[in-house]
């Protein structure tokens, strides 16, 4: 009697012929200068069709962000004709080559964003990002500042890209190191999420090696393609990974706010091409968007726990500038050193400090942004992600009312870990 099963022959040697040598690229230039100024070099990986190129929608998204949210068109270098996708389907591939990006309106020397800190997110997402596949199909699960990471891992259960169930880490879409940017740009109001940067709508479970060596280097991002969310590999460093996962559909968790995915797309661009963009910013002839002064932006204070001073000091060095690289400046404000893109804290928070305290407060700027967004809801249907985020016509009035109440009753703000319950949320010990 035998209980053994046939193991079969060894698996064949892996076919590596599809691994790109990264010489096939899409070069994007600014047309307003002589010689042309190079802005982007996107690797033309092989698409599911077997053809090499970059999805036209991804090219336009990237160029729009670098042009500070100005729509535009792409042309072959030295051509006068705008490129249009067949049947207006922007999922078609732009083949390797040299192209220029022209903004709508014809401004030749349009200003360029050369860093994430200089970029301002749009108040409303581009229409093709307004898809159920990009997230925001349901209200986020209840969590606190100390439990959101565990909630994300439990809610997802596996890596959003590979499907692996081991080596999972909680990854921020908008990195935690960009907390000052988040507050200055009014992201609480834009996403209608009082829980802020450290909350489930901004977090995704990923395999650990895809975070530090992938997303945090700007090598891969997420974007819409043919009506679904996909993984997009941008740089040559992801050539082997791209064979299996470039333009691979992913299931974006229902709780994710698509604005956070869009911001991560922008962050990845600026991170992945920071050397090229830094060189562009140093050219005195090129018009660029200036970075605001982040040194005055106050972020919530972090809890300092006994027995963790050494760990805290080491991590604060990473998160808030710490031992700066030679030639970098520090701000002497009470809020800590001014961050630069090179020193941004990564996306994984598994080794992070205690989460911020008392983050569930609206600033006056947040309220003003919410009121402006609310005014923009008149005369148009709400986008699905706006409805899922709890926005409705007149929603800012409740925010203003609560904000004024807290100003008049500061003792409410003194309650640590307190939060205002969302409409319809169960009354439990985490809500007041």
- pLDDT tens-digit series, residues 184-215: 999 999 988 888 898 888 989 899 999 988 99
Q: When comparing pLDDT for 391 and 275, which is higher?
A: 275
Helix (H) or strand (E) holding 43: strand 37-43
| Residue 61 in domain | yes
Q: What is the pLDDT, as a whole number, of residue 294? A: 79
∠ CA(84), CA(53), CA(164), 5° rounding? 125
d(CA 149, CA 143): 9
| Residue 215 in domain | no
| Residue 51 in domain | yes
Q: What is the pLDDT, as a whole number, of residue 15? A: 63
Q: When comparing pLDDT for 392 and 300, which is higher?
A: 392
Task: Say yes or no to pLDDT of 283 above 90.
Answer: yes
Q: What is the pLDDT, as a whole number, of residue 340? A: 40
| Residue 43 in domain | yes
Q: When comparing pLDDT for 370 and 337, which is higher?
A: 370
Task: Say yes or no to pLDDT of 349 above 60.
Answer: no
- SS3 at position 203: strand
The residue range of the domain holding 81 is: 25-112
Task: Say yes or no to pLDDT of 54 above 70.
Answer: yes
Q: Predicted confidence band at 140 (pLDDT cuts at 50, 70, 90)?
A: low
Q: Around 136, how many Cα atoms within 13 Å sit in the side-chain half-sphere? A: 26
Q: Predicted confidence band at 316 (pLDDT cuts at 50, 70, 90)?
A: very low
| Residue 367 in domain | no
Number of domains present in the structure of the chain: 1
Written as six digits, the tokens of 225 are 């393609």
Q: Do the Cβ atoms of 172 and 197 come closer than 8 Å?
A: yes
- Give the mean pLDDT of 223-233: 93
Other CB atoms within a 10 A radius of the CB of residue 142 amount to 18
Q: When comparing pLDDT for 428 and 38, which is higher?
A: 38
- Give the mean pLDDT of 125-141: 77
d(CA 130, CA 227): 10
Tell me which of 31-35, 117-121, 128-132, 326-330 is least confident: 326-330
∠ CA(240), CA(42), CA(286), 5° rounding? 145
Q: What is the pLDDT, as a whole number, of residue 102? A: 97
| Placement of tokens 């891992």 in the chain | 153
What is the residue-averaged pLDDT of the chain? 78
d(CA 150, CA 169): 10
| Residue 342 in domain | no
Q: Predicted confidence band at 254 (pLDDT cuts at 50, 70, 90)?
A: confident
Q: Do the Cβ atoms of 104 and 129 come closer than 8 Å?
A: no
Tell me which of 8-22, 208-222, 328-342 is least confident: 328-342
Helix (H) or strand (E) holding 26: strand 25-30
Q: When comparing pLDDT for 61 and 431, which is higher?
A: 61
Chain-centroid distance of CA 238 in Å reads 19
pLDDT tens for each residue of 158-179: 898 999 888 888 889 999 999 9
Name 183's Cβ contacts closer than 8 Å, sequence gap at least 6: 297, 298, 299, 363
| Residue 73 in domain | yes
């Amino acid at each position: 009697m035998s209980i053994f099963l046939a193991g079969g022959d060894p698996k064949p040697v892996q076919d590596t012929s599809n691994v790109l040598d990264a010489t096939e690229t899409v070069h994007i230039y600014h047309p307003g200068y002589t010689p042309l100024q190079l802005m982007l070099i996107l690797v033309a990986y092989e698409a599911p069709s077997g053809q090499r190129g970059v999805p036209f929608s991804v090219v336009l998204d990237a160029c729009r962000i670098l042009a500070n949210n100005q729509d535009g068109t792409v042309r072959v270098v030295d051509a006068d004709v705008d490129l249009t996708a067949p049947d207006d389907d922007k999922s078609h591939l732009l083949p390797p080559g040299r192209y220029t990006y022209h903004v709508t309106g014809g401004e030749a020397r349009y200003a360029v964003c050369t860093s994430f800190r200089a970029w301002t997110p749009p108040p409303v997402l581009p229409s093709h990002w307004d898809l159920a596949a990009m997230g925001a199909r349901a209200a986020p699960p209840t969590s606190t500042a100390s439990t959101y990471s565990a909630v994300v891992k439990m809610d997802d259960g596996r890596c959003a890209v590979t499907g692996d169930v081991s080596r999972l880490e909680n990854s921020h879409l908008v990195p935690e190191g960009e907390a000052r940017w988040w507050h200055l740009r009014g992201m609480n109001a834009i996403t209608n999420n009082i829980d802020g940067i450290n909350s489930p709508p901004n977090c995704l479970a990923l395999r650990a090696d895809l975070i530090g060596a992938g997303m945090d280097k700007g090598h891969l991002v997420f974007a819409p393609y043919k009506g679904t969310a996909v993984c997009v590999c941008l740089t040559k460093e992801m050539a082997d990974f791209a064979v299996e996962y470039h333009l691979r559909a992913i299931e974006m968790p229902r709780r994710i706010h698509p604005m956070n995915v869009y911001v991560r797309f922008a962050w990845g661009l600026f991170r992945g091409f920071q050397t090229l963009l830094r060189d562009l910013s140093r050219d005195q002839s090129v018009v660029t968007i200036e970075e605001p002064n982040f040194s005055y932006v106050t972020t919530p204070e972090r809890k300092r726990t006994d027995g963790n001073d050494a760990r805290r000091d080491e991590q604060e060095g990473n998160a808030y500038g710490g031992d700066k690289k030679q030639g970098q400046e520090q701000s002497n404000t009470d809020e800590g050193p001014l961050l630069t893109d090179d020193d941004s804290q990564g996306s994984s928070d598994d080794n992070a400090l205690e989460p911020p305290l008392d983050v569930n407060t609206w600033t006056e700027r947040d309220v003003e942004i919410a009121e402006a967004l609310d005014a923009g809801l008149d005369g148009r249907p709400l986008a699905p992600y706006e409805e899922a985020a709890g926005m409705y016509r007149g929603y800012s009035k409740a925010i203003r009312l609560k904000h004024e109440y807290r100003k008049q009753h500061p003792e409410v703000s003194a309650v640590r870990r307190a939060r205002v319950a969302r409409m319809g949320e169960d009354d439990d010990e985490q809500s007041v």
